[in-house]
Amino acid sequence: MALLFEKGWDSMLEAMKKARRLNTHVFSMLKALCPLEDKMACAIKQTGAPLPQIKFENTVSAFKTLPQK
């Protein structure tokens, strides 16, 4: 029983890590695409539940700050 619980716990933690990485990736893409616009997005909580209507303030994109040739 304890082995089954531990296996389920590990798979849940791995799913939470994947959701967190996906969340971070999507929001960094949003910032890169439209750096000077306010953005509305749907985040994923660490529990896996969606958190709708997150608003991001204007930020400077990393792509805009790179040296231009």
Distance (Å, whole) CA 25 – CA 46: 15
pLDDT band for 2, please (50, 70, 90 cuts).
low
C-alpha separations of 44 from 16, 34, 37, 55, 61 in Å: 9, 21, 21, 14, 22
What is the three-class DSSP state of 37?
coil
> To the nearest whole percent, how much of the chain has pLDDT over 90?
0
What average pLDDT does range 33-58 have in this prediction? 63
CA 58 from centroid of its chain's CA atoms: 17
pLDDT of res. 10: 84
